[in-house]
Structure 1
Amino acid sequence: MTSSDHLLDLIRATPEIGLLLGSSFAFDIHRTYHGDDLRLASGAPLEVIAGESAGGAYFLCGEQNGRRPVVFASSEGEGGLLADDLADALEIIIGLEWQDCLSFSGGGDVEVMQISAQHLRRSRGTYNPDIDAEAAQVAAALSLSVVPVTDLVVRLHAAASKTEPDYVVTDDDGAVFDPPFGEWTEPRHGGWR
């Protein structure tokens, strides 16, 4: 059994952690119906393990060096490598507004991502004042670390930068998903406040 299988089994066996992951962190292990037509551009298959309410999905790739990389594909046609294994992916998911951090990355500039991450971190608690406690609860239940945001940004940047050529997402029609890095440096309407 891989560490990814162990983590997924642990999430399934601990319903309150599965519920927190789905409701607060957009990683819902019950949303596995998406992605039958997605694969890597290399032809390698993807195993859907979770989804999120906007229609995106998380996938495990084939094992490499004892680890199974995690790829995310959005419903808007963006996709790429999130982390080298599920434990790393979950630490990013619970500790960082990672999708927005990638969207507001200035095309993959780690400095821009750091600035975006700090703004996103401040606004994260506004919408869910318990988010940090929930992240700590999930981390403790799954034997994960609560990693500082600056370190998570570095890890996310490193993983997303490795999307090409091995982790490019495509569909059965041959459509290639856009890379994970967005061009914006901050929201267009009002900027960071």
Structure 2
Amino acid sequence: MGSMNGLCYGDVMRGFGNLLQRIEDDGELTALLADAFEFDVRRKTTDGSARLASGIPIEAVAGDFTGGIFYLCGTSASARSVLYASSEGDAGIIAADLDEALGLVVGFPYWRDCLKYSAGGDLRTMESTTGFLYRDLLTNRPAVGAEQSRVAEALGLTLEPPLILTARLHEAVESTGPDFVLSDDTGEYGSLFGPFLPSRNQSWR
């Protein structure tokens, strides 16, 4: 195998595996990721009918409380982007790899609501929504900073400011092309970008 940025293919693949293994081997970390950040490696059972339009293989690696599933796409280390499929029939790429996806869910736990109130994928609207959501996060979970630090230290994550994560999330979802359209036995999934403006939430007015 050739090398990629100084790392051989096998090393990179082991890195992805080790990241998940570190979570699964640490019961406290597993519980914290599930409770505080809705990334639960114990919730990855599916009916097996989910598939991408391109036929690229997908692997369920975690789920959330609402029934959403996080998938790794592809089989090569350089192409294992992360796709999220909601229980409401929406799906799309949310990160270039698992490390970036964990940085998102830990750094900005309310990222799903940011997409919901995105006015169909408008970045400025998402940035406005992020301000409201981050305020709500600090109010609803005062200890989130310590919890983020615990996970980041355990997994070697770099935590970025919420607005950086919002821009990165917008770019990832927007990049979801025809090859990554998800379907299952219920039909084809729609976009993760929701239609709402922040003004729809009365508490943000």
Task: Classify the TM-score, shorter chain.
Answer: over 0.9
1:59 aligns with 2:55: no
The match for 1:40 is 52
- Of residues 23, 26, 30, the one that matches 1:11 is 23
Task: Identify unmatched segments of 5+ residues in structure 1.
Answer: none
Match of 1:154 in 2: 167
| Identity percentage of aligned residues | 39
User: Counterparts of 2:79 and 2:157 in 1: how far apart (Å)?
Assistant: 16
Please say if residues 34 and 51 of structure 1, whose CA atoms lie closer than 8 Å, have aligned partners that are also in contact. Answer: no
Corresponding position: 1:142 with 2:140 = no
What is the CA-CA distance between 1:191 and the residue it aligns to? 4.9
Residue in structure 2 matched with residue 182 of structure 1 by the alignment: 194
Aligned residues: 192
Q: Tell me the secondary structure at the aligned position of residue 195 of structure 2.
A: coil
Provide the rounded CA distance (Å) in 2 between the counterparts of 1:147 and 1:188. Answer: 28
* 1:119 and 2:132 are equivalent in the alignment: yes
Deviation readout 1:17-39 (Å, 9 max, x if unpaired):
11111001110000111251111
Q: Deviations over 1:152-178 (max 9, x none)?
A: 0111011001112222111145x1101
For residue 43 of structure 1, report the CA deviation from its aligned partner. Answer: 2.1
Normalised by the length of structure 2, the TM-score is: 0.88
Q: In the aligned structure 1, how far is the partner of 2:86 from the partner of 2:80?
A: 20
The structure that has the greater radius of gyration is 2
Secondary structure in structure 2 of the residue aligned to 1:124: helix
Unaligned runs of 5+ in 2: 1-9
Query: Paired residue for 2:123?
Result: 110
Q: Quick check: 176-185 or 55-64, which moved more?
A: 55-64
Relative to structure 1, the CA distance from residue 121 to residue 46 in structure 2 (aligned partners, 3 Å threshold; closer, same or farther) is same
Query: What is the CA distance between 1:73 and its match in structure 2?
Result: 0.4
Question: Is 87-96 or 63-72 further displaced after alignment?
Answer: 63-72
Contact 1:21/1:28 (<8 A) preserved: yes
CA distance in 1, matches of 2:76, 2:119: 30
| 2:70 aligned counterpart, secondary structure | strand
SS in 2 for 1:66: helix
CA distance in 1, matches of 2:201, 2:165: 26
Q: 2:188 is paired with a residue of what secondary structure? A: coil
Partner of 2:179, secondary structure, is coil
Runs of 4+ in 1 over 4 A off after TM superposition: none
Decide which structure has greater helix share: 2
How many Å separate the matches in 2 of 1:42 and 1:172? 16
Is the CA contact 1:4–1:68 (under 8 Å) kept in the aligned structure 2? no
Residue pair 1:35, 1:57 contacting (<8 A) in 2 also: no
With normalisation by structure 1, the TM-score equals 0.93
- Provide the aligned C-alpha RMSD in A: 1.6
- Relative to structure 1, the CA distance from residue 11 to residue 50 in structure 2 (aligned partners, 3 Å threshold; closer, same or farther) is same
* Partner of residue 97, structure 2: 85
